[in-house]
C-alpha cells in the first residue's frame, strides 16, 4: 500500500487558526471592548424569501409519492441549467444547457476538474491567491509556477510570453485582492492560453459585485475563450448560498485538447464520481433567477457593496493604497507605515479591536498587505472605519 | 497540455441506454400492454414526514438573520455526526465523531477517497460489481484485479492468499447480487487486509435491509477492521435520499499506512476540495435518527423488504437459483433455461412485459444472471411475479 505522498508536500496553514487564537486572547484580556470582525469571507445576510419558499415547496414535493424525486441528472436539472443559460444570455453570452454542470459549489469543482488533466502539466497561479488552487495541484504532484501580483501591476498580472504553462488560474474579481481584470487584459490571457495550448480555469465566484458594464463578468465575454477556458461560478456570494451549497461550471463543447472534448471528459467524471445536487437546493437556486429573486438578491449585494464603499472612502480619505472595494466585497490595503501584515494585524486588534486577514497568508506578495471584507453589518462597518480614521 | 489519458481506457457503458431503447421500442409496438419496471436501483417512496419537516424548519432558519448559517464544517455538523455515532453505538460499535465525515453520498466519497492513494497500488474488485469501483480506478490508472463471484461461492468470494493487493472493495449487502457476508467471512477479509497491509473500502449502502442480528451491518463489527477499513454509508436507500444527497464515511483514527493517519489525510482532502453538505439536508438527515424518524423509515424499508420477499418466494417456488432478497432490495437470479442475460431480458420483456437488468452489464460473471429490484410498488410487484410464475 502506497499512500499519495504528494499530500506530504502540503504546507499546513495556520492563518485562520492563528487569527482565532489571537482574537481569543484579546477577548479574554479585554472583556469590555467591542470587537469588530472584518476578516471572514462568509456572507451574513439570510437567504432571500423566494429561495426559502422554493426550498420549502420542493421539500413538500419530496414528501409526496407522486412528486417525489429520486436520483436526478448528475449534470443538474434542466430547469436550473436553462435559468443559468438565460442569465448568460442576458449578458450577451451564448452557452448551451449541455455546457453547464450544476455543482455543490465552485470550490469542489475547482478541485475536481483537475481529474481531467495529467500530472505532467505546468500550472500558472497568481500570488497572492486563494490557497485551494495551489493545494489541489500539490496533491496531484503538478509543477506550480507563481506569477507576481503586486502594487506595480495593481495586483492584475498580465501574461509573460517567456513562461510556458498548461493550466492557468484567473480569479476576477479576485480573492483576496478584489482587483478586476478589464476585457483588454483578459483578451491577452485568452490569446496567451491559445498560443500555449493551455486551459484557463476562470473563477467567477464574485462576478455579481461588478457594477460597471465595461468590466467582464465572464471570461466568455472574450472572443476565443470558448476554445480555452472553463468557468466556475457559485451562488455562495451571489445569493448567500455558502451554507446551502450550489454552483455551476461551464465547459464549452468547443474546448478540445489532445483531440478530446473536455466537455465529454467532464461529463464522464461527473457521472462516475458525483450524483448531482439536492433537488430542493436546485429549486432554491432556480428561484434566484426569478424576477423577484433577482430583486431580492440585489438588495443583499447592494448592502455589502455599500459597506465596501464606506471602507473604500475611508482608504481614499487617508490616502492608503488599496485594490478592490468598488467591484468586490474585499478591500486589499497596503499596511500604513510599512508595517508587515501580522504586525498590522496586531496593531489593529490591540489599538481599535478590528480584525482583518493578514495578506501574507495568501502568498509572498501578500506581505505588507491586509484584507478587509464587507460581509459584516452596516453599523459595525461604520464603527470600524470611524476607529480606523481616528487611528491613522 | 496533456489530458488525463487514463480516461481513454474507460469503456462506454451502454447497459441502461440499451435497456431504455429496447423498452421504448416495445412500448411503441405494444401500446396496450402494461409494462412493469423492476430494473431501476432507485427508491420510489417519498421522504419521511419528519425529514420534510426538519428540512422546512431549517429552510426557515436560513431565511432569518439570527439563525442563518453560512459555511458549515467541511466534515459535517456535529449534531449529525453525534447522531451517527449513536447509531453505531446502538450496534455496539464505538466510532468517534471525528472519525465520521458527512458526504453528499457514498458514490462521491467512494470515488474521492482514491485521492489518498498512489497510482502504484493494486486494486481487488469482485466481479460482478457496481461499475463505479472499476471506472474510478481506471481514471487514476491503477491496476485492477478481479475476483470471481459466482454460483459456486454464492457470489461471496473469499480472500485468495496467492493474490497480493493494496485496495480491496467489499459491498455487503451487495449491489447487484444482494449477497451478504457473514461475520466469519468478513473476519477472513480483515485478516487478509492486515496481512497484505491493504485497505478495505467497505460499501455499506444497503445495510438497513439486513434483518438478522447474526449478519454484520458494518465492517467494524469485526475486530481489527479499525486498522484496515474505511466504511461508506448513505441515507439514499435507508431513508430515500437518492435525490436529497447525504451520506457518511468513517475513517478510523487507528488506520495508518506508510506511517500516516488516513483520517488526517482525508480531513485535509475534504477541507481542500469540499465545502460540506447543505445545512438543510443535514437537518433532514438528523431527523432520520429521531425515534419517530426511525419508525417512519422502517415502514418504508419494510415495504421494500416485503416486495423482495414476494419475489424470493416466487423464485423458491420455481426452484430458480438466486442470491439476495432476504437482506437486500435486490434479487439476483440465474436465468431459467440457461438463457444468457440479454436473451432473458428480451424474453421477459416480450413475453410478460417485465423489465429487469441483465447481469452481464455488471461484469463477466454476471452473464446468465439477471437483477430484479424491490423498489417498485406492491401491486406491480405482485402482478410481475404472477406473470413470471405463469411463464415458467
ipTM of the complex: 0.97
| Enclosing H/E stretch for A371 | strand A369-373
Nearest residue on chain A to B271, alpha-carbon basis:
A132
A266 → chain B, closest CA residue: B7
pLDDT score at B40:
79
Q: Grid coordinates 479591536 are at which residue?
A: A353
Using an 8 Å CB-CB cutoff, list chain B residues near A5. Answer: 118, 258
If one counts every other C-beta atom within 10 angstroms of the C-beta of residue B1, the result is 18
- Answer whether A70 sits within 8 Å of B3, measured CB to CB: no
The nearest alpha carbon in chain B to A105 belongs to B275
Cβ–Cβ gap B116/A49 under 8 Å: no
Split at pLDDT 50, 70, 90, the class of A89 is very high
Mutation pick from B39, B62, B249, B265 vs chain A, by most beta carbons of A within 10 Å, is B62
Whole-number pLDDT of residue A104: 98
Positive or negative CA dihedral for B95, B97, B100, B104? positive
**Grid coordinates belonging to A207:** 462576478
- Please compute, for residue B103, the number of CA atoms within 13 A of its CA located in the half-sphere on the CB side: 34
d(CA A237, CA A40): 13
Task: Note the pLDDT tens digit of each residue in A317-362.
Answer: 999 999 999 999 999 999 999 999 999 999 999 999 999 999 999 9
* Distances from the Cα of B28 to the Cα of A224, B34, B200, B265, angstroms: 45, 12, 46, 53
Could you tell me if A178 and A325 are in contact, meaning their C-beta atoms sit under 8 angstroms apart?
yes
pTM above 0.95, yes or no: yes
Provide, as residue numbers in chain B, all residues whose Cβ is less than 8 Å from the Cβ of A48: 63
Angle at A140 between CA A135 and CA A144, to 5 degrees: 60
- Is residue A255 pLDDT above 90, yes or no? yes
* Digit-coded pLDDT (tens) for B186-198: 999 999 999 999 9
Q: Which of A205, A272, A377, A378 to mutate to test the interface with B (most CBs of B within 10 A)?
A: A272
Q: What are the chain B neighbours of A49 within 8 Å (beta carbons)? A: 63
Whether a cis peptide bond, with omega within 30° of 0, leads into A128 is yes
Query: Which of B42, B47, B243 has the CB atom closest to A63's CB atom?
Result: B47
**Given this model, what pLDDT does residue A40 score?**
79
Contact A243 B69 (CB under 8 A): yes
Residue of chain A whose Cα is closest to the Cα of B11: A268
**What is the CATH class of B49-290?**
alpha beta
Q: What stretch of H or E contains A203?
A: strand A199-203
Q: How far is B354 from chain A (nearest CA, A)?
A: 21
Q: For chains A and B, count residue pairs whose Cβ atoms are closer than 8 Å.
A: 235
| pLDDT given for residue B233 in this prediction | 98
Dihedral (CA of B44, B45, B49, B54) sign: negative
* Whether B118 and A4 lie within 8 Å, measured CB to CB: yes
* The pLDDT of residue A14: 82
Domain ranges of chain A: 14-43+294-391, 49-289
- Rounded distance, CA B176 to CA B39, Å? 11
Q: For chain B, which residues score pLDDT lower than 50?
A: none
Which CATH number describes the domain made up of A49-289? 3.40.640.10
Q: Is there a contact between A199 and B69 if contact means CB atoms under 8 Å apart?
A: no
Task: Tell me which CATH code domain A14-43+294-391 carries.
Answer: 3.90.1150.10
Helices (H), chain A: 15-29, 49-62, 78-90, 106-112, 131-140, 183-196, 236-239, 262-273, 279-288, 291-318, 341-352, 378-391
Kindly state the average pLDDT of the residues A178-196: 98
The set of cell numbers assigned to B50 is 419528519
**Given this structure, which CATH class describes domain B5-46+293-391?**
alpha beta
- Cross-chain residue pair B117–A2, CB shorter than 8 Å: yes
Per-residue pLDDT, averaged over A368-382, amounts to 97
B1–A46 CB contact, under 8 Å: no
Determine if the peptide bond prior to B300 is cis (ω within 30°): no
Q: Smallest Cα–Cα separation from A179: which of A151, A214, A220, A221? A: A151
Judged by CB atoms closer than 8 Å, whether chains meet at B107 and A64 is answered as no
What pLDDT does residue A13 have? 81
Mean pLDDT along residues A233-239: 97
Could you say which of B10, B70, B281 has the minimum Cβ distance to residue A278? B281
> Which of B139, B234, B278 is the best residue to mutate to test the A interface, defined by the most A CB atoms within 10 Å of its own CB?
B278
Residues A34-38: what's their mean pLDDT?
95
Judged by CB atoms closer than 8 Å, whether chains meet at A139 and B42 is answered as no
Of B175, B191, A345, A135, whose CA–CA distance to B183 is shortest? B191
Amino acid at each position: 500500500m502506497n499512500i499519495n505522498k504528494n499530500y506530504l508536500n502540503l504546507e499546513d496553514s495556520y492563518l485562520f487558526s492563528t487569527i482565532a487564537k489571537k482574537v481569543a486572547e484579546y477577548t479574554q484580556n479585554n472583556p469590555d471592548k467591542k470587537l469588530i470582525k472584518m476578516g471572514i469571507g462568509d456572507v451574513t445576510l439570510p437567504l432571500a424569501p423566494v429561495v426559502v419558499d422554493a426550498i420549502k415547496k420542493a421539500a413538500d414535493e419530496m414528501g409526496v409519492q407522486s412528486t417525489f424525486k429520486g436520483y436526478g441528472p448528475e449534470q443538474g436539472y434542466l430547469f436550473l441549467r436553462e435559468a443559468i443559460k438565460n442569465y448568460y444570455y442576458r449578458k450577451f453570452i451564448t452557452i448551451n444547457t449541455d455546457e453547464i454542470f450544476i455543482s455543490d459549489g465552485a470550490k469542489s469543482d475547482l478541485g475536481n476538474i483537475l481529474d481531467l488533466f495529467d500530472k505532467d502539466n505546468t500550472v500558472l497561479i497568481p500570488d497572492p491567491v486563494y490557497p485551494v488552487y495551489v493545494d489541489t495541484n500539490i496533491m496531484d504532484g503538478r509543477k506550480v509556477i507563481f506569477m507576481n501580483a503586486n502594487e506595480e501591476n495593481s495586483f492584475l498580472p498580465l501574461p509573460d510570453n517567456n513562461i510556458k504553462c498548461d493550466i492557468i488560474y484567473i480569479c476576477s474579481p479576485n480573492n483576496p485582492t478584489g482587483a478586476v481584470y478589464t476585457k483588454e487584459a483578459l483578451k491577452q490571457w485568452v490569446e496567451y492560453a491559445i498560443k500555449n495550448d493551455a486551459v484557463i480555469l476562470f473563477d467567477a465566484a464574485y462576478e455579481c459585485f461588478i457594477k460597471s458594464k465595461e468590466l467582464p463578468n465572464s471570461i466568455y465575454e472574450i472572443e476565443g475563450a470558448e476554445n480555452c477556458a472553463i468557468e466556475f461560478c457559485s451562488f455562495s456570494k451571489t445569493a448567500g448560498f455558502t451554507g446551502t451549497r450550489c454552483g455551476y461550471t461551464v465547459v464549452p463543447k468547443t474546448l478540445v485538447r489532445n483531440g478530446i472534448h473536455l466537455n465529454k471528459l467532464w461529463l464522464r467524471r461527473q457521472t462516475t464520481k458525483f450524483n448531482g445536487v439536492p433537488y430542493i437546493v436546485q429549486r432554491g437556486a432556480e428561484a434566484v433567477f426569478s424576477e423577484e429573486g433577482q430583486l431580492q438578491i440585489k438588495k443583499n449585494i447592494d448592502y455589502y457593496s455599500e459597506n465596501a464603499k464606506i471602507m473604500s472612502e475611508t482608504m481614499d480619505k487617508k490616502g492608503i493604497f488599496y485594490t478592490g472595494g468598488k467591484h468586490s466585497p474585499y478591500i486589499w490595503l497596503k499596511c500604513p507605515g510599512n508595517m508587515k501584515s501580522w504586525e498590522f494585524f496586531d496593531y489593529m486588534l490591540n489599538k481599535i479591536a478590528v480584525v482583518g486577514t493578514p495578506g501574507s497568508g495568501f502568498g509572498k506578495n501578500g506581505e505588507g498587505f491586509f484584507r478587509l471584507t464587507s460581509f459584516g453589518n452596516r453599523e459595525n462597518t461604520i464603527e470600524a472605519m470611524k476607529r480606523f480614521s481616528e487611528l491613522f
